[in-house]
Amino acid sequence: MRMEIVGHAGEGVDHVSWLPNCETDKESVAMPANGFYGRLKDHQIAWAHEAGIDDEQRETAGNRPWVLKPEFKSRNLYDQRWWRHIVGKEHRWARALTSSQCFAVNLFGPLAESPRTARDVFTRLVPERPLSSDAVVAVALEHTPCDAPRWLGEKGQPTQVDVFFTVSRNRRPVAHLLVEVKLGERKFGSCRGAKTGGPNQAPERCRKLGSILDAPEQWCWLAETQGRRYWELMMQPGSSFRFDGLSSDDTCPFRDGIYQLMRNQVLAEALAGNTEAEWADVGVCIHPLNRGVLALAEPIAGEGDILPAFRSISSARIHELDPRTVLGAAVESDPSLEDWADWMRQRYLLA
C-alpha cells in the first residue's frame, strides 16, 4: 500500500470529529482545583488578563473565567490561524485556557507550518531514529490515518493522534511518530467499558484477564459489542505486547491509565504492518510539572507509574519528549520563533 503526503501538513486528510464523553474524555473543565491543575488554571486566568482577553470574551458569568466563549476560541492559540489544524476535531473543552489540545497546537504549530523546522526538532527529540539526508518530516495535528478505523475495527470514534510525525523519502512515507500530549490532566485516558454505570452492563468481566486473553471477543466489551480489534492485533506474532508477566487473576491492564498508550501503540504497529513504513513509534509529551498524570490508580505488574507499567507489557519504544526541548530546538532551527518560545514559556509555566 502506498501512502503519500498531499499538500500542507494537516490538509487533505479524512478525519472524524471528536465526540465528547467517548472512550477517552480527553479534557474536562471540571477538574478539581488542586495540585498542578489548580496552579495552571490560576495562572491562565492571570495570563488572560495580561493578554487583554477581557471578561466579555470569557465565561465569567458562568463562573468559568478560564474558558473562552465559543466565538473567541481561536484566541487560545499563539497564531489564531492555526485553528485550521484542528477544525472539526476540537476536543469538548478546546476553548478552555487549560486545554491540552490547544497546548499541543501552540507547541507543535511551528512544526506543522514548516517541514524544515519539523525535521530539525525531530532530530533533537528522537536521536535514536536518525534521518537520511533526503528525509522530509511533516507534522499533522489530531490525525487519524485514513485506513486506521478498518485496521483497528473502529466503527465509531477512531484513534486520533495529538501530534503525528511522518518521515518521507521521495514523497513516500517511511516512518511515523505518534505523540500523546498532556498538559493539566490528572491521568491518561481510560476505557469506557470498565466504568461502573457505563455502557458495559458487565464491567466485572474487565477484572478477569485470563478469560479475556482466552476469548477477548466474549470477555472484552470493546471487542464483543464494538468490534474493536485491539486484543486480536496485540496477540498477533510480531506484536510488541507480552502478557506473560501478568497473572490470569489480574485485571485488564487497559482498564485505566495505559489504555490511551495501548491504542496509539496498536495503531503504530498497524501502520508498520500495513504500509511501507519502516518503523512507527509512540511518544509522550507531558508538561514537566505534571508528573501526577503518570500515576496509576492500580499497579500493573507491580509498577505504579504509567511508563514503566506499559514497558512491562510491551517491548515498544516509548519516546519521552520534553516541551522545553521542543521550544529550544525550534528556536535553534528558526531564530525568528524566539517570540513564540517566550510566549509559550510565559503562558505555560515552561521557564
Each residue of 150-195: pLDDT tens digit?
999 999 889 999 999 999 999 999 999 999 999 999 988 899 999 9
Q: Where are the alpha helices (DSSP H) in the chain?
A: 35-50, 100-113, 115-125, 148-152, 209-214, 216-219, 221-226, 230-234, 259-274, 306-313, 323-333, 338-348
- Per-residue pLDDT for 20 more than 70? no
Contact 160, 264 (CB under 8 A): no
More confident residue, 188 or 337: 337
Question: What pLDDT is stored for residue 4 in this prediction?
Answer: 31
Question: What pLDDT is stored for residue 257 in this prediction?
Answer: 86
What is the rounded average pLDDT of the residues 199-223? 96
Question: What pLDDT is stored for residue 3 in this prediction?
Answer: 34
109-165 pLDDT, tens digit per residue, is 999 999 999 999 999 999 999 999 999 999 999 999 999 999 999 998 899 999 999
Average pLDDT, the chain: 90
- Per-residue pLDDT for 18 more than 50? no
Tell me how far CA of residue 94 lies from CA of 18, 20, 73, 101, 323, in angstroms. 11, 11, 8, 6, 19
Question: What pLDDT is stored for residue 13 in this prediction?
Answer: 27
Phi, psi for residue 293 in degrees, rounded to 5:
-65, -20
More confident residue, 190 or 16: 190
Q: How confident is the model at residue 35 (pLDDT cuts 50, 70, 90)?
A: confident
Q: What's the whole-model pTM score?
A: 0.90
Q: Residue 162: in which H helix or E strand, if any?
A: strand 161-169
Neighbours of 274 (CB within 10 A): 15
In this prediction, what percent of the chain has a pLDDT beyond 90?
A: 86
CA angle 256, 180, 231 (to 5 degrees): 50
- Per-residue pLDDT for 23 more than 50? no
Alpha carbon of residue 58 to chain centroid:
26
